[in-house]
Amino acid sequence: MDSITTIETFIQHIPKAELHLHIEGTLEPELMMKIAKRNEISLDYESVDEIKKAYQFSNLQDFLDIYYAGANVLRHETDFFDLTWSYLTKAHSQNIVHTEIFFDPQTHTERGVAFSTVITGIHKALEKAQNELGISSKIIMSILRHLDEDSALETLKEALPYKEWITAIGLDSSEVGNPPSKFARVFEKAKTEGFETVAHAGEEGDAGYVREAIEILKVSRIDHGNRSLEDELLIKHIVENKIPLTVCPLSNLKLKVVKEAIDHPLLKMLNRGMVATVNSDDPAYFGGYINENFLAMSEALNLTAKHVHQLSRNSFIASFLTQEEKSKWIRETDLYYEQYHGRIE
């Protein structure tokens, strides 16, 4: 192991779980071009540089338009396998030992790609990662909230034969105007079928969206949750009930949810006693994987090894691992902290 003397090396080496990662958002421009070529799909861009240049967003919708367009190159099981495997090797290189990934089936079924094609490709890569890299994982099937309830119900039905592979149901896409209550019946059915539930809330939508996700959808954790800080009673509820927040710093900066890195509420969340975690969301689009997210916050907010340890610990606490698995990894992060924190310059 490299000697651990800086906060960067501490961040790099500490075992981490990633809990907020859209697999379609890991499609790097190089892989997008490669898959487009083999599937004989013409792109609007001539080069990797041109693709990267197009990644300028002023809000969530700007990003989503480009993200859904990028996903259009994914047609076959091998495309989903390659996409997922590419993320997993990157995750491994950053000491992610457990990952819970979102996939958006409607992004693919709406354009004629079968649900089974998508999930089988993803599942095979996750299985390989467990065997060859020792990374454990869960799949979260995310509902596109800009589409209607019928489409969500149909998607939930398609997921039932794959229950063994899918741990939780999530909610993503355009938040404002598509509140959690729109999917009350979908999430109720998901719970009845035995799925865990999570939802994106409080990214662009106000604290009311977070409240609805908790009260109506009965989610186990909130994805983003930034705007819950605008409501003291809600903060109290989140803290008392230990509802984790899967926070995505670089995403928040790129989508202008937060103006500057120094304004990011991550430290405030920790100081208020919230179970905050650090995640990369859509790393191919937002300029960094999990360690770059930690680093950006470490630089802007002067995070100490203690904060990084707390965030890594939180990632296992907030995961869908069993209590026994959580305890094992929490012990690992504790040992790691005890061994190295005194050496950081």
Query: Which residues are part of the catalytic machinery?
Result: 203
Taking the least distance from each CB to ligand HPA, the nearer of 7 and 119 is 119
175 binds Zn ion (CB under 5 A): no
Taking the least distance from each CB to ligand HPA, the nearer of 226 and 298 is 226
Structural Rg of the chain based on CA atoms: 19
173 binds, among ligand HPA, Zn ion, none (CB under 5 to 8 A by kind): ligand HPA
Q: What part of residues 195-224 is at the interface with Zn ion (CB under 5 A)?
A: none
Distance CA 109, CA 158 (A): 10
The Cα-based distances of 51 to 56, 103, 220, 337 in angstroms read: 10, 22, 36, 40
Position among 11, 15, 16, 25 found at the interface with ligand HPA (CB under 6 A): 25
Q: What part of residues 173-232 is at the interface with ligand HPA (CB under 6 A)?
A: 173, 200, 203
Q: Residues touching ligand HPA: how many (CB under 6 A)? A: 11
246 binds ligand HPA (CB under 6 A): no
Query: Closest by alpha carbon to 104, among 169, 41, 160, 39?
Result: 169
In b/e form, how buried is each residue of 270-281, taking b as 16+ CB within 10 angstroms? Answer: bebebbbbbbbb
158 binds, among Zn ion, ligand HPA, none (CB under 5 to 8 A by kind): none
Query: In the bound complex, what is the minimum distance in angstroms from residue 213's beta carbon to Zn ion?
Result: 13
Query: In the bound complex, what is the minimum distance in angstroms from residue 33's beta carbon to ligand HPA?
Result: 21
Q: Are strands 168-172 and 136-144 parallel, antiparallel or unpaired?
A: parallel
Q: What part of residues 270-329 is at the interface with Zn ion (CB under 5 A)?
A: 281
Q: What share of the chain is helix, strand, coil (3-state, %, to 5)?
A: 55, 15, 30
User: With contact defined as beta carbons under 8 Å apart, do 200 and 223 qualify?
Assistant: yes
203 binds, among ligand HPA, Zn ion, none (CB under 5 to 8 A by kind): ligand HPA
Q: Residue 28 contacts by C-beta under 8 Å, 6 or more apart in sequence? A: 86, 284
Query: In the bound complex, what is the minimum distance in angstroms from residue 223's beta carbon to ligand HPA?
Result: 7
Taking the least distance from each CB to ligand HPA, the nearer of 98 and 145 is 145
Binding residues for substrate: 282
Q: What part of residues 35-74 is at the interface with ligand HPA (CB under 6 A)?
A: 60, 67
Query: At CA 345, angle to CA 338 and CA 288, rounded to 5?
Result: 85
Q: Residue 136 contacts by C-beta under 8 Å, 6 or more apart in sequence? A: 97, 98, 99, 130, 321, 325
User: With contact defined as beta carbons under 8 Å apart, do 4 and 13 qualify?
Assistant: yes
Q: For binding to Zn ion (CB under 5 A), which residues are involved?
A: 281
Q: For binding to ligand HPA (CB under 6 A), which residues are involved?
A: 22, 25, 60, 67, 172-173, 200, 203, 251, 281-282
